[in-house]
């Protein structure tokens, strides 16, 4: 695989560490759970999101650091931190985050929920009626599917699935065969719910829940008749979940990936979570078995998997404790016209999700499937979910005789199985399914229709910053552009030709494409702003993205700052750039906005001597996006839409003084506090676009 990348060495003091910066983002998410102005059940949800994010952090990032150490690597990143030192700092930071997380849950959120009639009952508080119901539930629903495993020479330690709930049991006495191993493992099947609601008639509160772990603790003795249970401790292991497919060996990517997916649940252990009542002896025994050190042990004062609480807000019918629902709006041009093709011909259409509906994209694909004038459909798919109406429309279009091609990214992390399933289903109905270019994930969001009209064939195109995933479009902020601009259509057709066929990359008229031109064009645009400023003109850059890590781009931003360019960066997650450092980055401000919706759109604005170039993109400013993925940045050519992107996607976030965090020169973040008028970007957009007051 040919790798495109910058090879220069830059001063390590110019960069923050990616992993530590990513953990600071988790602290900002945790701050949402601590915010009294956030509805109570949403605070619980944010708490769960932190746990989910940390799971992936260990599965991918920490496992990568550990792999470097295992191979004896002392190679540091751009920030200069060697792997062993970084792992120590990561462990320290995560232990602090988890301590704060459980303190917030136990001391604040759970008591507040109880006051609102939502209770999670401890075993010591069960009434007789509740105990009777739970006992019956255990015997009916739980015990039949459990397989307790005593540890002895005939029963080795069972294979423990990644992130599964397990119990280590300390025993005393002898069983029917005279065995006395002293320890056993009970695995909780994933089919069992981790949170169980008790019937209303046996509870004081309207919503009363118990944890599966509490039920198992209370009845574990029944699994080991005649033996004394000295201790029962829940534990959970996080494993390396990164997939590796060898380019030299692979003949069939889909078949190779299926084999890798079977092993994902049993990768090397990277973290052990145990309840804080776990004995030292048992904790040491588990650490030894999983080949982990004490720094890999995380003791939790509560259930070991808070992600399982994520569903509780959906189960509790208390609107006052949740964000107010809203109905995404439709642009007026689509609201008035039934013919989506005519609407697009009348002018480019900008969709701003989740404030505006994703339905026009679904409607476009539905219309294409049914329209006899549509001859061909081409689409890239990165994440779309297990149940996708878009995929159903593609299948139907193929069944109706249209030429349908789908570039399906099989290596979309944690969506591989869903994408393999869709690949099978689409191929069964005649869709041409390709997997892009091996070694480069296809992350670009492209949909192209070819339609026969008076005067010849016309291309209709949708370009987006987010996935073709109807569910995530309801809570990710993203832009989508519907256009039939002929030159944009030519560019998109060329990109599809590159991905599905073979040949040299051709120059594109408007799109910036990775891994070829995106990074060089971004750097060139930054350098052009610097040159304008040096010549006495105005230099201005505003960019919004999820992550900023690529060193050559960061160095170009530093040089632009020193030339006098005013630079505002809105970076949701990790940022390796150091802002407001005297002599280095005086003119660079970095902020992160964390709120109800996940900030996801990527927007790049350059003043360009008054020409004001505005690009939307699927790519962050990261090495992987620039050099190891197929990505697209596309221009907003319509002046009216360009003003909309500036107002809705950039200026609203620069004026936010409630959910914005300003990055400090030392890498810390300071939350903005309103002085006078409160301005919350997401709430303003809800009001202006979706009509929510």
Q: What is the CATH number of the domain that holds 663?
A: 3.30.870.10
Of the three residues 253, 288, 321, the one that is the final residue of a domain is: 321
Residues 276 and 174 grouped into a single domain = yes
Q: Which residues are annotated as a binding site for ATP?
A: 53, 476, 572, 600
Is residue 342 a part of any domain in this protein? Answer: yes
Residues 361 and 303 grouped into a single domain = no
Q: Which of 369, 372, 421, 373 is nearest to 395 (CA)?
A: 369
| CATH number, position 121 | 3.30.1840.10
Q: Write the DSSP assignment of 488-523 as a string of letters.
A: HHHHHHHHHHHHHS-SPPPPPSS-EEETTTHHHHHH
Residues 554 and 667 grouped into a single domain = yes
CA 220 → CA 180, 186, 234, 252, distances in Å? 17, 9, 12, 47
| pLDDT at residue number 427 | 80
Residues 148 and 276 grouped into a single domain = yes
Per the CB < 8 A criterion, the answer to whether 316 and 43 are in contact is no
Domain count of the fold of the chain: 3
Distance in angstroms (rounded) separating the CA atoms of residues 589 and 122: 48
Q: Which of 563, 506, 503 is nearest to 529 (CA)?
A: 563
In 408-485, which residue ranges form alpha helices assigned H by DSSP?
416-428
Is residue 60 a part of any domain in this protein? Answer: yes
Is residue 326 a part of any domain in this protein? Answer: no
| pLDDT at residue number 184 | 87
Is residue 374 a part of any domain in this protein? Answer: yes
Distance in angstroms (rounded) separating the CA atoms of residues 596 and 476: 9
| pLDDT at residue number 254 | 45
CB-neighbour burial class of residue 680 (10 A; exposed 0-12, middle 13-18, buried 19+): buried
| pLDDT at residue number 99 | 96
Of the three residues 294, 321, 348, the one that is the final residue of a domain is: 321
Distance in angstroms (rounded) separating the CA atoms of residues 641 and 569: 21
| pLDDT at residue number 160 | 86
Note down the domain range covering 443. Answer: 332-506
Per the CB < 8 A criterion, the answer to whether 398 and 426 are in contact is yes
Backbone conformation region of residue 225, classed left if phi is above 0, alpha if psi is from -120 to 50, else beta: beta
Q: Which of 458, 481, 461, 494 is nearest to 374 (CA)?
A: 458
Q: Which residues are annotated as a binding site for Mg(2+)?
A: 383, 413
Is residue 4 a part of any domain in this protein? Answer: no
Residue with tokens 């995530």: 472
- Average pLDDT for runs of 10 along the chain of length 693: 59 95 97 97 97 93 90 82 94 97 97 96 94 96 89 70 91 59 85 94 94 93 84 93 51 46 66 94 93 96 92 95 94 82 95 96 94 95 77 92 87 60 80 81 94 94 92 93 97 93 82 96 98 97 98 98 98 97 97 97 97 97 94 97 98 97 96 92 94 69
Residues 306 and 167 grouped into a single domain = yes
Per the CB < 8 A criterion, the answer to whether 406 and 381 are in contact is yes
Residues 577 and 655 grouped into a single domain = yes
In the chain the first and final C-alpha atoms are separated, in Å, by 52
461: CB partners within 8 A, 6+ apart = 446, 447, 448, 449, 481, 482, 483, 484, 485, 488, 489, 492
Residues 667 and 601 grouped into a single domain = yes
Q: Quick check: is 219 catalytic?
A: no
Q: One of 353, 393, 443, 607 is an active-site residue; which one?
A: 443
Of the three residues 482, 506, 530, the one that is the final residue of a domain is: 506
Angle at 168 between CA 163 and CA 170, to 5 degrees: 175
| pLDDT at residue number 258 | 47
Q: Which residues are annotated as a binding site?
A: 53, 383, 413, 476, 572, 600
Residues 661 and 543 grouped into a single domain = yes
CA 233 → CA 283, 301, 517, 604, distances in Å? 9, 12, 54, 51
Is residue 490 a part of any domain in this protein? Answer: yes
Give the chain's largest Cα–Cα span: 90
Residues 280 and 336 grouped into a single domain = no
Residues 387 and 439 grouped into a single domain = yes
Residues 153 and 263 grouped into a single domain = yes
Strands 269-275 and 297-300: parallel
DSSP 608: G
Per the CB < 8 A criterion, the answer to whether 402 and 377 are in contact is yes
Residues 160 and 219 grouped into a single domain = yes
Is residue 40 a part of any domain in this protein? Answer: yes
Is residue 161 a part of any domain in this protein? Answer: yes
């Amino acid at each position: 695989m040919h790798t495109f990348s910058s090879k220069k060495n830059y001063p390590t003091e110019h960069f923050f560490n990616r992993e530590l910066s990513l953990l600071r983002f988790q602290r900002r998410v945790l701050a949402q759970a601590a915010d009294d102005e956030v509805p109570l059940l949403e605070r619980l949800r944010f708490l769960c999101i932190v746990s989910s994010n940390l799971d992936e952090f260990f599965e991918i990032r920490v496992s990568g650091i550990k792999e470097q150490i295992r191979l004896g690597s002392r190679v540091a990143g751009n920030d200069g931190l060697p792997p062993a030192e970084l792992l120590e700092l990561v462990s320290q930071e995560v232990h602090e985050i988890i301590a704060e997380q459980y303190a917030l849950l136990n001391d604040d959120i759970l008591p507040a929920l109880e006051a609102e009639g939502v209770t999670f009952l401890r075993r010591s508080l069960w009434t007789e009626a509740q105990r009777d119901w739970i006992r019956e539930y255990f015997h009916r629903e739980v015990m039949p599917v459990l397989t307790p495993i005593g540890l002895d020479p005939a029963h080795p330690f069972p294979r423990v699935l990644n992130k599964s709930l397990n119990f280590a049991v300390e025993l005393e006495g002898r069983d029917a065969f005279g065995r006395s191993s002293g320890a056993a493992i009970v695995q909780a099947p994933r089919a069992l719910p981790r949170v169980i609601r008790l019937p209303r008639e046996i509870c004081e509160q309207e919503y009363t829940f118990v944890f599966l772990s509490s039920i198992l603790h209370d009845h574990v003795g029944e699994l080991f008749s005649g033996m004394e249970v000295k201790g029962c401790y829940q534990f959970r292991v996080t494993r390396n979940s990164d997939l590796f497919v060898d380019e030299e060996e692979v003949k069939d990517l889909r078949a190779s990936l299926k084999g890798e997916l079977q092993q994902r649940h049993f990768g090397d252990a990277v973290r052990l979570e145990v309840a804080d009542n776990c004995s030292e002896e048992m904790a040491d025994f588990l650490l030894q078995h999983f080949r982990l050190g004490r720094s890999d042990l995380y003791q939790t004062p509560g259930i070991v998997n808070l992600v399982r609480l994520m569903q509780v807000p959906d189960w509790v019918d208390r609107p006052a404790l949740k964000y107010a629902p809203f109905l995404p709006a439709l642009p007026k041009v689509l609201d008035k016209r039934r013919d989506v093709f005519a609407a697009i011909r009348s002018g480019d259409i900008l969709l701003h999700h989740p404030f505006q509906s994703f339905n026009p994209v679904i409607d476009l694909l539905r219309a294409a499937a049914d329209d006899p004038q549509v001859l061909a459909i081409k689409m890239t798919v990165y994440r779309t979910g297990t149940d996708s109406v878009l995929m159903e429309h593609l299948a139907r279009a193929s069944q109706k005789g249209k030429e349908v091609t789908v570039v399906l990214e099989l290596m979309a992390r944690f969506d591989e199985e869903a994408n393999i399933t869709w690949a099978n289903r689409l191929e069964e109905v005649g869709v041409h399914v390709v997997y892009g270019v091996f070694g480069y994930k296809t992350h670009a969001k492209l949909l192209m229709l070819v339609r026969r009209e008076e005067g010849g064939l016309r291309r209709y195109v949708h370009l987006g910053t987010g996935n073709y995933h109807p569910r995530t479009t309801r809570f990710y902020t993203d832009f989508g552009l519907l256009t039939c601009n002929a030159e944009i259509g030519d560019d998109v057709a060329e990109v599809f030709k590159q991905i599905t066929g073979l040949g040299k990359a051709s120059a594109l008229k408007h799109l910036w494409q990775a891994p070829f031109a995106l990074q060089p064009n971004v750097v060139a645009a930054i350098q052009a702003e610097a040159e304008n400023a040096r010549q006495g003109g105005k230099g201005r850059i505003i960019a919004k993205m999820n992550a900023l890590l690529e060193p050559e781009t960061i160095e170009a931003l530093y040089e632009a700052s020193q030339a006098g360019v005013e630079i505002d960066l809105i970076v949701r997650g990790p940022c390796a750039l150091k802002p407001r450092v005297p002599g280095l980055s005086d003119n660079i401000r970095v902020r992160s906005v964390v709120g109800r919706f996940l900030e996801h759109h990527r927007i790049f604005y350059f003043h360009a001597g008054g020409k004001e170039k505005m690009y939307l993109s699927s790519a962050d400013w990261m090495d992987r996006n620039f050099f190891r993925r197929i990505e697209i940045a596309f221009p907003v050519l319509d002046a009216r839409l360009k003003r909309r992107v500036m107002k809705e996607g950039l200026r609203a976030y620069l004026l936010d003084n409630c959910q914005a965090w300003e990055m400090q020169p030392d890498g810390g973040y300071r939350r903005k506090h309103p002085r006078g008028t409160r301005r919350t970007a997401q709430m303003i957009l809800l009001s202006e676009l979706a009509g929510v007051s």
